[in-house]
Amino acid sequence: MNADMDNILQEFRDRILTASATKAPLCIQGGASKHWYGQTLCGEVLDTRAYTGIVAYEPTELVITARCGTPLSEIEAALAEQQQMLAFEPPHFGATATFGGMVAAGLSGPRRAAVGAVRDFVLGAHLMDGRGELLAFGGQVMKNVAGYDVSRLLAGSLGSLGLITDISIKVLPKPFAETTLVFALSEADALTKLNQWGGQPLPISASAWHVGRLMLRLSGAEAAVRAAKKKLGGEEVQDAGRHWSALREHEHDFFVQDDEHGLWRLSLPPSASPLSLTGKSLIEWGGAQRWLFTDEAPQRIRDVVTKAGGHASLFRGGDKRTGVFTPLAPAVAKIHRHLKNAFDPSGIFNPGRMYLDL
């Protein structure tokens, strides 16, 4: 590690130790591209962007390691030069998105249902805890399982456990061929088709249904994509890359058309039938992720989704006083508290960002 990065780490440590001693909250933040996600921010900002740079990248090993403040665009550009990618297609939500923020937010894009989520690709991480100690978890290869669960646990933790300083992520080659098909289908018919296709050996890498149109992306070897296209039918979409990028970044018309209501993210079994909730919806991940703009009461939304076997989160906007994420069961809440106390005994890291009492 170079001297400049050592000095920045020491500055981070000094800030953390001072905050812990005075129990003054710190708001860990990179490019602030997802500052609206979760509960209301609290505390003095600890900006991670000075701690930047790719530490190691070995294309033949399919692993990249970088510091938390590294721009996400820089990571993706380096991978693209080698025809590789972050397979889970993380959303940026702005040009300032960072590598550490990507992991802390734990959000995945259209390809998630086919390849897995952010946490499935995290191989290892370094975390600076509330005592200023730099802890290492996992490694840089899939075989290294020492502390593996802890490194994956950091994905989606929203900075509540500490400052993620470095992360090692598994990457994948870009597909040789890709095409997108569109079908005119109702919501119920689209869900039926998606579940039927999901049980077949088809190279489906993304799906999205909205207002009577189901879009299906096929990715993989040229022969496999060609055979699937012939079997499925549908109409081929030109310049489909822009569609999937807009969907990932929430620049699709669905996401920008409603300023009145909060945006709910519903996680459900793919086989769940259309829900008895009013409003405007968009369905992804083969039916497992459903976006909803509605004026229904939060408790009714959660009751309906829970009955269907899923959970609901207030993703953006709306009234956060009811809680952004689904309330935890007592046993699970106890585990969360134990983890928080272990890594952040003074409770300084992004307090209340995930749950108001943590």
Domain ranges of the chain: 3-173+338-343, 177-319
The per-residue pLDDT for 146 is 41
**8 A C-beta contact, residue 271 and residue 179:** no
Q: In the beta sheet, which residues pair with residue 136?
A: 126
Q: Over 50: is that where the pLDDT of 39 sits?
A: yes
Q: CATH says 3-173+338-343 is which class?
A: alpha beta
Position 1 confidence tier, pLDDT thresholds 50, 70, 90: low
Position 358 confidence tier, pLDDT thresholds 50, 70, 90: confident
Q: Over 70: is that where the pLDDT of 247 sits?
A: yes
The least confident of 53-57, 220-224, 325-329 is 325-329
For residue range 292-333, what is the model confidence (pLDDT) as tens digits?
999 899 999 999 999 999 999 999 998 898 899 999 999 999
Position 141 confidence tier, pLDDT thresholds 50, 70, 90: very low
As a whole number of Å, the end-to-end CA separation of the chain is 34
The per-residue pLDDT for 322 is 86
The per-residue pLDDT for 144 is 40
What residues contact residue 297 under an 8 Å CB cut-off, 6+ apart? none
The per-residue pLDDT for 301 is 97
Q: Over 90: is that where the pLDDT of 27 sits?
A: yes
**Nearest CA to 210 among 238, 183, 233?**
183
The per-residue pLDDT for 35 is 95
The per-residue pLDDT for 140 is 57
For residue range 86-106, what is the model confidence (pLDDT) as tens digits?
999 999 999 999 999 999 999
User: Quick one: average pLDDT of 171-187?
Assistant: 98
The fraction of the chain above a pLDDT of 70, given in percent, is 96
Position 143 confidence tier, pLDDT thresholds 50, 70, 90: very low
pTM here is 0.94
Dihedral sign computed on CA atoms, order 336, 338, 343, 347: positive
